[in-house]
């Protein structure tokens, strides 16, 4: 036994010596991989190339190369939480002294799968046909240069892979010519020697802890560089190129030492590099130039600083913050306060949180002379809003604008720009994010901002008691305090008993258990309808934990979700693992869905990961079966009331599961309709919501919209489209009447082009579900049978998919408005 142990120790020491020798001597094998094939698995088991970088950071290295500036380029899988990895090129600084010690944390300069990180046991393969493939542990193809838009097999065959000291990853052919290189596909960073060609963009990260694509992007065009926050432009450097050569598609802007520009024009003059230098577009809208110096990475230049003022950046003063002459402040100290007194640029928050359960008490506070992005962006966005509200045309009034904001819970600020020739009409824009607001002293700015606040709720009725003396008052006050404490304790005790007595309730967890499972709620997955969702682990099971943000706001929704999901089980409904109801804490624990929510795949997916027609059809089938179970197979009919892509989760096999039952409504078998307050998400609401009497067929209408979005690959309201194409449902109606339905099919899906007849039938089914008259919509069980081929599709009764109504909630000059669903994101991915 001792001999075996000594032999094991000898082998480990020998392998360690070989690793350090190869690593520090930088043998040629560390720079390139050649055919016939190479495969690497992301595992830490006796793996010499998996290294810990401190904290939860780790890297699995495949290639390394040094540069003359004491930087080490590495290609591999990198994680900051030791669970989610991105395939990337990263740069680190190393000491040229003894042992060539690597110093500091890596700086990622390119990533392949930023929106689709992989886990342990993922596999990177360099195949015999010259392709580079990244598969997740379940075998799902996550990324390859081919999926990124480059045809390798169809062109020269790649026979090897090389990483240069500059950080450029290159696949080369037998002539050592480049077949594909990472420099052509930047993410948020450029290095010296790299170019941005027309049509190639930089996109910031979503946050400092997330690799996911954010809202800030740099568009490269022939006439210059355009900077956007979402769809709104906050800066553009425009010029007329003097010479475009023979091919405008190859027109590029090069990042050289000391400049960024085109062949004939230096757009930005930059400081000369003293060490390794890189440029990064960041989530606050800044384009910063960095240098690596030993253990530090420092900013040497803010590239847009000479052209963009502090107040013009998207995140200058954070949420609700107003920027005035380079200073951040709150709209009104009576209703808002700074989130951080020492850092005003973090933003502001309302003194009283907005509640969608008390919309009747919302109020608007006016602030004058407000600017929002550029004038062009404001007018463009306002025109889109005007198009959405057909009755506004070009003559919106401030009264209608304010009323529209009060009626839409997601609206936080209403902006109204008065026409110079008319003091009553102008342009209106509703904001769900109170960002990039600045105030000027000029009276020439006729834009007024109306900030939404939560008004005081009516006081509870109190019994008037006459007290004749100070002693009597003190006694009564003591009694009142005692009763208050007793009632509060009794209410909490009854509440605890109630939660413990929910029939068929799933496992009840303590708050501390879920705090440990989620690493103190550090792994955020997204934002749900009434809370934030975190990733966690209990035992061997990965879970998703939804934490309600404020019990008063979401308590009813919490009870609805526990009661609804706790007693039902179906393969197409998300499984509720457990819940927590401890003091003021309300949490729901679900099974974890590895492929997130449907919206990520049809609205924001990389072109490389376009869903096939078979997958889309199966997802639609899964949603239909889940809703059919809720509507017709439960003891009481259950109306979900918030069907949208964000609430459709996908497991590792892309099987659809309906989630987020916080707004659901139980309907007795003997009830034809129920009365309830309007709930759900604008853009997916059925017309009958206007009368507040609904049936489960409101879900069928929402389901119809989801089908159309899945087929078209876009949201029903897309303000990046030309005005006549902004509203998907009205566009669908127009195309149906003209016999041009297939014009709407997602152009990024080649697979759907081979199944156009099936696609057309699916669109006909969607229009059957979108009938304005709810009695003409099919049952979900009928929809499921049609999808299974057990029943023929009936002819669509008509193509009237947009309802006209006269608003009964506000007097809008007697005008007739068109009911056009608009998209507002109240829930994020799980």
pLDDT score at 378 = 67
pLDDT score at 620 = 97
pLDDT score at 52 = 63
Pairing relation of β-strands 437-439 and 322-324?
Answer: parallel
CB 81 within 8 A of CB 523: yes
Rounded to whole angstroms, how far apart are CA atoms 460 and 115? 50
Strand partners, 576: 590
Rounded to whole angstroms, how far apart are CA atoms 667 and 674? 7
More confident call, 446 vs 432:
432
Mean pLDDT, the chain, integer: 77
Q: What is the pLDDT of residues 393-421, one digit of tens each?
A: 445 788 888 888 998 888 999 988 877 65
Confirm whether residue 488 is marked as ligand binding.
no
DSSP track, 546-558: EEES-HHHHHHHH
Rounded to whole angstroms, how far apart are CA atoms 674 and 186? 53
Q: What is the pLDDT of residues 575-614, one digit of tens each?
A: 888 888 887 788 889 899 988 889 888 986 656 567 899 9
pTM score, whole prediction: 0.52
Pairing relation of β-strands 507-508 and 576-582?
Answer: parallel
More confident call, 255 vs 563:
255
Q: Which of 78-92, 372-386, 466-480 has the highest mean pLDDT?
A: 78-92
Answer left, alpha or beta for residue 519, where phi above 0 means left and psi between -120 and 50 means alpha: left
More confident call, 521 vs 52:
521
The whole-number average pLDDT for the span 202-217 is 89
Phi/psi at 427 (5° precision)? -110, 140
Of 301, 292, 278, 286, give the one whose Cα is nearest residue 205: 286
CB 573 within 8 A of CB 658: yes
pLDDT score at 796 = 66
CB 744 within 8 A of CB 731: yes
Q: Which of 206-210, 648-652, 804-808 has the highest mean pLDDT?
A: 648-652
CB 782 within 8 A of CB 791: yes
Marked catalytic residue, from 345, 642, 699, 718: 642
CB 119 within 8 A of CB 579: no
Strand partners, 85: 118
Instruction: Report the alpha-carbon angle 87-277-69, nearest 5.
Output: 90
Q: How confident is the model at residue 153 (pLDDT cuts 50, 70, 90)?
A: very low
pLDDT score at 514 = 93
Q: How confident is the model at residue 656 (pLDDT cuts 50, 70, 90)?
A: very high
Query: Which residue ranges form the domains of the chain, and what is each CATH number?
Result: 27-185 (2.90.10), 186-308 (2.90.10.10), 311-454 (no CATH), 500-591 (3.30.200.20), 598-819 (1.10.510.10)
Q: Tokens 């003891």 appear where?
A: 635
Rounded to whole angstroms, how far apart are CA atoms 231 and 520? 35
CB 792 within 8 A of CB 730: no
CB 273 within 8 A of CB 257: yes
Across 539-552, b (16+ Cβ under 10 Å) vs e yields eeebbbbbbbeeee
Active site residue 642: yes
Across 142-166, b (16+ Cβ under 10 Å) vs e yields bbbbbbbebebeeebbbbbbbbbbb
């Amino acid at each position: 036994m001792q001999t075996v142990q000594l032999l094991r120790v000898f082998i480990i020491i020998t392998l360690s010596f070989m690793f350090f020798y190869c690593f520090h001597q930088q043998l040629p094998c560390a720079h390139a991989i050649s055919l016939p094939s190479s495969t690497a698995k992301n595992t830490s088991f006796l793996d010499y190339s998996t290294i810990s970088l401190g904290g939860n950071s780790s890297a699995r290295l495949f290639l390394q190369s040094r540069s003359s500036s004491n930087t080490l380029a590495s290609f591999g899988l990198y994680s900051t939480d030791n669970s989610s990895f991105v395939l990337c090129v990263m740069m680190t600084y190393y000491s040229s002294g003894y042992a060539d010690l690597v110093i500091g944390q890596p700086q990622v300069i390119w990533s392949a799968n930023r929106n689709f990180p992989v886990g342990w046991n993922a596999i990177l393969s360099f195949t015999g046909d010259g392709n580079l493939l990244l598969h997740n542990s379940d075998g799902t193809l996550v990324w390859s240069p081919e999926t990124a838009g480059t045809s390798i097999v169809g062109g020269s065959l790649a026979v090897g892979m090389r990483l240069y000291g500059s950080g450029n990853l290159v696949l080369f052919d037998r002539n050592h010519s480049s077949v594909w290189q990472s420099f052509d596909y930047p993410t948020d960073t450029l290095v010296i020697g790299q170019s941005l060609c027309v049509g190639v963009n930089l996109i910031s990260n979503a946050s400092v802890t997330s690799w996911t694509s954010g809202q800030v992007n740099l568009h490269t065009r022939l006439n210059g560089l355009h900077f956007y926050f979402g769809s709104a432009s906050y800066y553009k450097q425009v010029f007329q190129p003097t010479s475009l050569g023979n091919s405008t598609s190859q027109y590029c802007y090069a990042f050289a030492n000391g400049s960024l520009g085109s062949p004939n024009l230096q757009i930005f003059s930059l400081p000369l590099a003293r060490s390794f230098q890189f440029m990064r577009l960041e989530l606050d809208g800044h384009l910063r130039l960095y240098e690596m110096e030993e253990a530090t990475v420092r900013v040497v230049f803010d590239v847009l600083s000479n052209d963009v003022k502090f107040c013009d950046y998207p995140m200058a003063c954070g949420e609700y913050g107003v920027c005035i002459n380079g200073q951040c402040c709150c709209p009104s100290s009576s209703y808002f306060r700074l989130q951080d007194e020492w850092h005003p640029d973090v933003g502001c928050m309302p003194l009283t949180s907005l509640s969608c359960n008390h919309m009747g008490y919302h109020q608007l506070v006016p602030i004058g002379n407000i600017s929002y992005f550029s004038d062009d962006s404001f007018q463009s966005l306002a025109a889109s809003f005007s198009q959405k509200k057909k009755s506004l045309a070009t003559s919106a009034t401030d009264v209608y604008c304010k009323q529209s904001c009060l009626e839409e819970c997601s609206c936080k600020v209403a902006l109204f720009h008065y026409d110079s020739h008319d003091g009553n009409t102008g342009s209106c824009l509703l904001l769900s994010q109170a960002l990039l607001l600045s105030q000027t002293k000029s009276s020439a700015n006729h834009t007024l901002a109306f900030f939404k606040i939560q008004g005081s709720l009516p006081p509870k009725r109190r019994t008037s008691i006459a007290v004749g003396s100070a002693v009597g008052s003190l006694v009564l006050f003591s009694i009142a305090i005692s009763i208050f404490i007793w009632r509060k304790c009794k209410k909490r005790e009854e509440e605890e008993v109630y939660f413990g007595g929910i029939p068929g309730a799933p496992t009840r967890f303590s708050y501390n258990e879920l705090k440990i499972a989620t690493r103190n709620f550090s792994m955020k997955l997204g934002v749900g309808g009434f809370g934030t969702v975190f990733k966690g682990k209990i035992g061997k099971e990965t879970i998703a934990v939804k934490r309600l943000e404020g019990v008063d706001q979401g308590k009813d929704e919490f009870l609805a979700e526990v009661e609804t999901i706790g007693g039902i089980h179906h393969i197409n409904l998300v499984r509720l693992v457990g819940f927590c109801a401890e003091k003021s804490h309300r949490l729901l624990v679900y099974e974890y869905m590895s492929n997130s929510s449907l919206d990520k795949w049809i609205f924001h997916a990389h072109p490389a990961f376009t869903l096939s027609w078979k997958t889309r059809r199966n997802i639609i089938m899964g949603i239909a079966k889940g809703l059919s179970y809720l509507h017709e197979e439960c003891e009481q009919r259950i109306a979900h009331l918030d069907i949208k892509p964000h609430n459709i989760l996908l497991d590792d096999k892309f099987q659809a599961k309906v989630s987020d039952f916080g707004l659901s409504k139980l309907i007795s078998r003997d009830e034809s309709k129920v009365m309830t307050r309007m709930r759900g998400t604008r853009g997916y609401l059925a017309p009958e919501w206007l009368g507040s009497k609904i049936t489960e067929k409101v879900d069928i209408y929402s389901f119809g919209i989801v089908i159309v979005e899945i087929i078209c690959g876009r949201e029903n309201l897309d303000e990046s489209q030309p005005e006549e194409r902004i509203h998907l449902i009205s566009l669908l109606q127009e195309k149906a009447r003209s016999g041009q339905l297939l014009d709407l099919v997602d152009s990024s899906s080649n697979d759907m082009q081979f199944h156009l007849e099936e696609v057309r039938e699916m669109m006909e089914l969607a229009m059957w579900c979108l009938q304005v008259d709810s009695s003409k919509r099919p049952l979900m069980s009928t929809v499921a049978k049609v999808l299974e081929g057990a029943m023929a599709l009936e002819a669509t009764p008509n193509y009237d998919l947009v309802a006209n109504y006269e608003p009964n909630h506000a007097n809008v000059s007697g005008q007739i408005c068109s009911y056009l669903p608009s998209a507002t994101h109240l829930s994020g991915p799980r």
